[in-house]
Chain A
Amino acid sequence: MVTEEDVANMSPEQLQELQKQNCIFCHIISGKVASKKIYEDDKVLAILDINPANPGHILLLTKEHYQIMPQIPDDEISHMFMVAKAISHACLKALKVQGTNIFIANGTLAGQKASHFMLHIIPRMNTDGLKIFDLPEKSIQENISEQIRAGLSNKINELFGIKTEEPIVLDRKTEKIGEKEENQKKTNKSEEKVNKDGVTKEKKSNKEGNSGIDLDEISNFIIKNEPKK
């Protein structure tokens, strides 16, 4: 039996190995657990979901065990989306449905239930009564969305290695955004003490006391260790 302490002392590689052993989808991929396979190649496997949202609900899995999308290399993610497109097309033709939803839940808070990354392809009919994918509309303050725009745009350019013209000024901007956001949170939840650099918040998520491994912890870990280009 693996204790919580053991998990805390494990290296990322050991953690991944442990998760693989406990992952039902890894067993499905290796064939230890039976499934209704729709499509298979060297990188991905598509199976029918046994608890479907609609008839023909397909799970597209990476054969390698990844927990969340940021872990997946570019070539695998692009292969996955191309297969998803083809399967969506197969759904329209084979099941005579009127549309499909392609859906990814990244992180437990986003509704991810298994620790194995997957993409859902859900056939849709006008009359199926599935309303969760009709997105609600909210009004967001102009200054908040402007902060979000500036912050995201800088970060994405950084991730693609695109140099912005005045990097120093832009860096200050992102710092400001972080602070402002946290100020907003302070007003929202007065009981939550938030540190300036957000370190305490990450620790808090550790305290949630889930036995086993928390997806969010791992996502935080990965993001921290993401090599900056």
Chain B
Amino acid sequence: MSQKNNCEFCQIIGKKINAKRIFEDAKVLAILNPNPCCAGHILLMPKEHFSIIEQVPDYLIAHLSKIVNKISIAVFEILQAKGTNILIQNGVAAGQKSNHFMIHIIPRKENDSLNFQWQPRQLSEEQMSTIELKLKEESKGIGEFEKEERKPVKLDSEIEKIDKEENYLIKQLNRIP
């Protein structure tokens, strides 16, 4: 919880800090980056606080990706961008600055002075094969995804709602002398 209280983006989500909101639903929020790398630099984040992608449940990743796609279309059309870059910085080593997981959507135009071109490395056949084997071993388990939110979670929120209603009714009753 302390992580959440210190998180700038949790405070933006909770409307304690102002931001330029672009899209919002029950689970996600898209804003214009307060510290942009170019005009129209968008951050899309889950409302719940996660630090890295591994913590984000699959169904939320799926939901986020659909919205990324729509935002990307809107960027092409409204900002007349000639391209978009989608970037996730996962971990401090990967350039992550905030500990709230987010997806960057960066509109690209001619001569925008941004550059995401890397210098290709040459690895020996042996190095490549070792990496291949290691990754293949770890990737064996991939294939089962939690495509929907677990039901008990939904039930909990329903119960909460009912509780609130009941409390409200009880309060009403209490008011009647």
Contact = CB atoms under 8 A, between A and B. Distances in A.
Q: Do A and B form a real pair?
A: yes
Contacts, number: 273
B73 A223 contact: yes
Given A82-B61, A82-B145, A101 B90 contact: yes
A148 B40 contact: yes
Interface in A78-129: 78-83, 85-95, 97-112, 122, 124-126, 128
A110 B39 contact: no
Interface string B6-37: 00000000000000111100000010100111
B132 interface: yes
B42 interface: yes
A22 interface: no
Q: How large is the interface on B (under 10, 10 to 19, 20 to 34, 35 or more residues)?
A: 35 or more
A161 to B, nearest CB: 11
A67 to B, nearest CB: 12
A51 B121 CA distance: 6
Interface residues of A, number: 91
A126 B87 contact: no
Contact of B85 (A81, A100, A105): A105
Interface in B86-114: 86-96, 104, 106, 108-110, 114
B119 interface: yes
B115 to A, nearest CB: 6
Given A52-B120, A135-B95, A145-B32, A74 B54 contact: no
A219 interface: yes
Nearest to A74: B66
B169 interface: no
A146 to B, nearest CB: 7
B108 A109 contact: yes
Nearest to A102: B88
A128 to B, nearest CB: 8
A79 B142 CA distance: 12
B156 interface: no
A91 to B, nearest CB: 7
Given A111-B85, A140-B36, A102 B90 contact: yes
Interface of A: 36-39, 41, 46, 48, 50-56, 58, 69-70, 72, 74, 77-83, 85-95, 97-112, 122, 124-126, 128, 130, 132-138, 140, 144-146, 148-149, 151-153, 155-157, 159-160, 174, 177-178, 181, 198, 201, 205, 216, 219, 223, 226
Given A107-B82, A109-B110, A128-B93, 15 more contacts: A36-B128, A38-B132, A39-B136, A50-B128, A58-B135, A81-B64, A81-B65, A87-B142, A88-B54, A90-B142, A104-B84, A105-B116, A133-B87, A137-B37, A152-B71
24 contacts: A36-B132, A38-B135, A39-B136, A51-B121, A54-B121, A56-B131, A78-B66, A87-B142, A88-B53, A90-B135, A95-B135, A97-B93, A99-B94, A100-B88, A102-B53, A103-B86, A111-B117, A124-B95, A132-B117, A133-B94, A134-B95, A145-B32, A156-B74, A219-B76
